[in-house]
Chain A
Amino acid sequence: MTTFSSAPPRQAHPTARAAVEADQGRPIHRQNVGELERWISGAAGAALVLHGLRQRSLASLALAAVGGGLIQRGATGHCQLYHRLGVSTADARRPALKHGDVHRGILIKRSVTVSRPIEEVFAFWRHLENLPRFMLHLQSVSSTGPDRSHWVVRGPMGSTIEWDAEIINEKPNELIAWRSVEGSEVDHAGTVRFSRAPGDRGTEVHVELNYEPPGGQFGRAIAWLFGEEPRIQMEDDLSRFKQVMETGEIASVDGQPRGH
């Protein structure tokens, strides 16, 4: 049983803490927003301003004002909210996540039961090239060695993000754990556990992802606005995984006729 005292402390990134400490008593206009995030912030701000000004309602004007704030944030590299929270994403290099590390990144846990034998379910997942079939934001995964793979992901607003990952633990028909290699653009670690569902009801697949979204918490909020919230994405990915395993195809209405 977990108690409060035994739970690992939830703490800010060491370098972020250092940045906050160094901030004490200094002018507030210090850069605390990372480069990629600045770019995303600026672009999202511009989109909101354009969208907000096009419709002439009170709510749209408010949206345009928020957009203005984002542009300023992107241009100056300083975020008031991050400052208050003592957070910074401006550090160029971040260490890769260690397995089991509770970071200030995002932890996603989702599971699904698939009515197929465990060997089949494990084998399909372990062949990492299969992942883009049901993880729609993945453009490609290619094996570059026995434990190494190269991942290309569709990011928000048409960008792509790439990294290399390595499998750090593998037990056939039981578990696959991986993490992004040191110095990757995305800090990312994950585990998939496979277990037999009771009464021959197939295979339970439990996924745990721990990652720092590109563009920080802010990027996550923006992605959420555009329907790419990672928890939801994972849930949708898993139901597509189930569909592929059970039915051999993914249910779709793309390309069907409709009226005007």
Chain B
Amino acid sequence: MKALCWLGKNRLAVEDVPDPKIINPRDAVLKITRTAICGSDLHLLDGFIPQMERGDILGHEFMGEVMEVGPEVKNLKPGDRVVVPFTISCGNCFFCNKQLWSLCDNSNPDARTCETMYGYTGAGLFGYSHIYGGYAGGQAQYARVPFADVGPLKVPESLKDEQVLFLSDILPTAYMAAENCNIERGDTVAVFGCGPVGLLAIVSAYALGAERVIAIDRIPERLRMAQSRAKADVLNYEQVDLMEAIKEMTGGRGPDSCIDAVGLEAHGTTLDAWYDLARTTLMMETDRSHALRRAIQVCRKGGTVSIPGVYGGLLDKFPMGLAFAKGLTLRMGQTHMQRYMKPLLERIEKGEIDPTFIITHRLPLDAAPEAYKTFRDKQDDCVKVVLDPWAS
């Protein structure tokens, strides 16, 4: 089959590799009909995530048709059309039983690395380095899905692939980020970053009752999309003094909650952002946390900062004193996918949420290496790339 492989920092290629097969009794093998590039995939391209190996197959947002199931998979059969969560969860452990699916104890076969780094391991992830198990990803024609009796969600024929594809990651991720804000009537939510997760977080915040969403980015096309399609008030942080502008927009109070949909490769114009850039370039720091600092700075007293953006290492100049003084609540972590997939599928079926508006590029899998760079460099007004593994 064809698969997108990681060959090194900034080096990707579509290669011919063997087809996947059933390895464990609870596996399924899928023929992939659509797959997408995630903003977090760009951290792999840029070499920010350690423990990648040459030849690793990328991709964790995918859906398709069940080809084969292992003997212990009773709820799926060949021919079923499913969307697959990016986290792999066993469904049996303490954490899965508590609905903390992304903290699964049992799905990372290479837990050693994660335990050495963090002292514990979370769930295995598709196509996201050997820290998270080294599972082959879904930017390919076929994929093996472990614990297939727990993860994949069947989708009705009435919905098109593109309508449900984002149930694999970014829609539940954005929704959980908004849910973590504990939105109350009259609340204002500030969303940092208008990439795919940020845009869907705006939609989710409104769906959960936010009065107003302020979206912050620097890319004109993304701000336009946040304004026209997601109905947010927008701020370009390269053109305004962010603190002043947000204070002004909120009558001096600050937003009730902030969502950092940027993560560890933040850009900025203030001194601390340049400091981060210098330190990470010199390998003296792992993560650039400018967006998170800003979120903590602007959030109102007693508010919530929700962090769907990915962080991997140690943060420098983290304004802990400020967070403490304001009595902030910080909420974060990988998405507990199974909590959200079914309810969000119902919302999509009812027409309450249509996440397809973020798609700007529809390309064959062969174009993936170029598409990663277009997406990373935000060229061609790129916001979201959807790949067809079978188109030529």
Contacts and interface: CB of A to CB of B under 8 A. Distances in A.
A50 interface: no
B43 to A, nearest CB: 19
Contact of B136 (A202, A239, A256): A256
A88 B51 CA distance: 40
Contacts of A115: 92-94, 97
B106 A259 contact: no
Interface in A138-184: none
Contacts of A250: 24, 109
A248 B146 CA distance: 13
Contacts of A252: 23-24, 109
A253 B143 CA distance: 12
Given A255-B21, A255-B23, A257-B19, A246 B106 contact: yes
A247 B55 contact: no
Nearest to B116: A232
B147 interface: yes
A249 B72 CA distance: 10
A243 B6 CA distance: 29
Nearest to A260: B55
Interface in B14-43: 15, 17-21, 23-26
A247 B13 CA distance: 35
A257 B3 contact: yes
A59 interface: no
Contacts of B146: 251
B3 to A, nearest CB: 7
Interface string B243-254: 000000000000
Nearest to A258: B55
Contacts of B115: 235
A257 B7 CA distance: 15
A259 B94 contact: no
A259 B87 CA distance: 22
Contacts of A201: 94
Interface residues of B, number: 45
Contacts of B90: 243, 246-247, 251
Contacts of A259: 3, 5-7, 13, 15, 17, 54-57
Given A243-B106, A259-B5, A254 B97 contact: no
A15 B62 CA distance: 65
A92 B154 CA distance: 65
Contacts of A202: 94
A125 to B, nearest CB: 18
B195 to A, nearest CB: 27
Contacts of B97: 115
A249 B94 CA distance: 17
Contact of B15 (A113, A243, A251, A260): A260
B57 A251 contact: no
Given A249-B26, A258-B57, A259-B17, A113 B136 contact: no
Contact of A251 (B18, B108, B136): B108
B101 to A, nearest CB: 14
A188 interface: no
A247 B106 contact: yes
A113 B18 CA distance: 38
Given A252-B23, A252-B24, A246 B72 contact: no
Contacts of A248: 25-26, 72
Contacts of B110: 253
A260 B54 CA distance: 7
Looking at B21, B24, B133, which has the most chain A CB atoms within 10 Å of its CB? B24
B239 to A, nearest CB: 43
Contact of B24 (A232, A235, A249, A258): A249
Interface in B84-121: 90-94, 97, 105-112, 115
Interface string B121-151: 0001000000001111000000010110000
A236 interface: yes
Nearest to B147: A247
B5 to A, nearest CB: 3
A159 to B, nearest CB: 24
- In the A-B complex, the 9 residue pairs with the closest CB atoms: A259-B5, A259-B55, A251-B109, A259-B15, A258-B55, A257-B17, A246-B92, A247-B90, A257-B18
Interface of A: 113, 115, 201-202, 232, 235-236, 239, 242-243, 246-260
Given A246-B105, A248-B25, A258-B57, 13 more contacts: A115-B92, A115-B93, A232-B112, A235-B115, A236-B111, A242-B105, A243-B106, A246-B92, A246-B93, A248-B72, A251-B108, A253-B23, A259-B3
14 contacts: A201-B94, A236-B112, A246-B93, A247-B26, A247-B92, A248-B26, A251-B133, A252-B23, A253-B133, A255-B21, A255-B23, A257-B20, A258-B17, A258-B55
